Chains A and B, each alone.
Chain A
């Protein structure tokens, strides 16, 4: 259990109908580090992280084979409950998606509540800690009852991060979390990602190379559904071993 790897992906293949979008992916994801998944549009980045918390299978006619071992458990084993997986492995989406009908407070408390936490004081504590962790507390503490839809885009995305944190997950998956945000809000989220990496394992999809270089410790390069290169961020950017990776990081393919 004290392995340095939080998740181990073994021979992962994924399909949409007959479209084979991920091919034999093998990858070990380091604990308490930021792993970035980069690659051109359509290379399977999003599908890949959606396979890590069993969100992929929600799409009609989607299929997965292979293993994703999380703390020694293959999350695709028959006796594993997908809701358990998603609770332990949180997710932040491309477009901020707070529940529009709920207040800031209720958005954060949503996860704990559906998993049975009712105690008012405990919920207050979870909400506060999660918002603090997501660097949003100072901005919303005076009006936790206001609707989530009243927040700015960047605040909404941090609210979504807080909402994921409220379940105390071990891994947080982020699917291009800044692609719909302005540069200042994006920079805030990037700082937050670095802060969160002290306590959580983070896997972030990005098609912004500079972002991958700034926030990640490890980076994986996906191309046409295959894992082309994977290693410490610095090495991959400075001394790519694969020709395709080199073309990508130098901007020759995008």
Chain B
């Protein structure tokens, strides 16, 4: 049994170890405060990519969280209707869609009009988030006991208010967990980002322009012949992993303290 455990853990730890070993050396103050260095330049950092990634995730969440929550409410409260079964299967389809296809769709719909831009990338990532958030919301609301909802309705609260202010409030931790999981999922996405905004070496320059991105940094830096850039790719990989790990820890904390 322990052998199986060790065999299973070897790939995980070798990845983590390798990324840590190669990435930790470049992490210093410059790494977090300076933008992508020019070719041949020494030092530099990935501050612009951190900024860009945060903007992209933020914008995607701004689109996906309200839509996902409203969809989840609809599915849990009006789950028996024909429309909801259609919505549910679309959700599942969207959830299983390869991210490059979603990227292509966002490219066609937005990038061809606005240009390669953070808007197009955020839209693509939002499409990935929506089914995750709505599924989490639906499941969370279904776990709210009917007796609690009845208590509010019996006091003369309309049904929709009961859902919004009582059920959603009880479910808020689980909904937040779903949102964080969705964020963790899109933080490392590279394919849809590549198709919709491409690579950008500079700071944020407007919603109709691209922004830099950590996942793409890894992709492009690692392929480059410059030692400095390759080192930055490892550094980017390390902080990306740290970020996702951090989100997972927060999720754990949120799901654990549910006792009262």
| Interface positions of A (Cβ within 8 A of B) | 53, 55, 58, 60, 83-84, 86-87, 90-91, 93, 95, 97-101, 110-111, 114-115, 147, 149, 160, 163-164, 167
Contacts and interface: CB of A to CB of B under 8 A. Distances in A.
Contact of A53 (B154, B159, B161): B154
B150 A114 contact: no
B154 A86 contact: yes
Contact of A86 (B148, B153, B161, B260): B153
A226 to B, nearest CB: 26
A193 to B, nearest CB: 18
A58 to B, nearest CB: 7
B154 A55 contact: yes
B169 interface: yes
Contact of A98 (B150, B151, B154, B158): B151
The 8 tightest CB contacts between A and B, nearest first, are A87-B156, A91-B154, A97-B147, A111-B155, A83-B156, A86-B156, A97-B151, A114-B157
Interface in B78-103: 80
Nearest to B166: A99
Contacts of A110: 152, 155
A84 B154 CA distance: 10
24 contacts: A53-B154, A83-B157, A83-B158, A86-B155, A87-B156, A90-B155, A91-B154, A93-B151, A97-B145, A97-B147, A97-B148, A99-B151, A99-B152, A99-B166, A100-B148, A100-B170, A110-B152, A110-B155, A114-B156, A149-B260, A160-B151, A163-B151, A167-B155, A167-B156
A99 B148 contact: yes
A83 B152 CA distance: 10
A100 B260 contact: yes
A60 B145 CA distance: 16
A100 B152 CA distance: 12
Nearest to B151: A97
B147 to A, nearest CB: 4
Interface of B: 80, 145, 147-148, 150-159, 161, 166, 169-170, 260
A60 B161 contact: no
A84 B156 contact: yes
Contact of A114 (B147, B159, B161): B161
Contacts of A93: 147, 150-151, 154
A98 B170 CA distance: 12
Contact of A111 (B145, B156, B170): B156
Contacts of B156: 83-84, 86-87, 111, 114-115, 167
A227 B197 CA distance: 72
Nearest to A167: B155
B48 to A, nearest CB: 42
A115 B169 CA distance: 19
Given A99-B166, A101-B170, A110-B155, A147 B150 contact: no
Contacts of B147: 93, 95, 97
Which of B153, B161, B166, B260 has its CB near the most chain A CB atoms (within 10 A)? B153
Which of B147, B151, B159 has its CB near the most chain A CB atoms (within 10 A)? B151
Contacts of B153: 55, 58, 86
Given A83-B156, A114-B161, A55 B150 contact: yes
Nearest to B79: A60
A87 B148 CA distance: 16
A154 B238 CA distance: 55
Given A93-B147, A101-B170, A147-B260, A60 B155 contact: no
B187 to A, nearest CB: 31
B173 to A, nearest CB: 10
Given A60-B80, A97-B145, A164 B155 contact: yes
Nearest to A86: B156
Nearest to A173: B154
A115 B161 CA distance: 12
A114 to B, nearest CB: 5
A87 B155 CA distance: 5
A58 B152 CA distance: 13
Which of B153, B156, B260 has its CB near the most chain A CB atoms (within 10 A)? B156
B146 to A, nearest CB: 9
B188 to A, nearest CB: 34
Given A100-B148, A110-B155, A114-B155, 15 more contacts: A55-B153, A58-B159, A83-B156, A83-B158, A87-B155, A97-B145, A97-B148, A97-B150, A99-B151, A101-B169, A110-B152, A147-B260, A149-B260, A160-B151, A163-B155
A99 to B, nearest CB: 6
Contacts of B154: 53, 55, 86, 90-91, 93, 164
A111 to B, nearest CB: 4
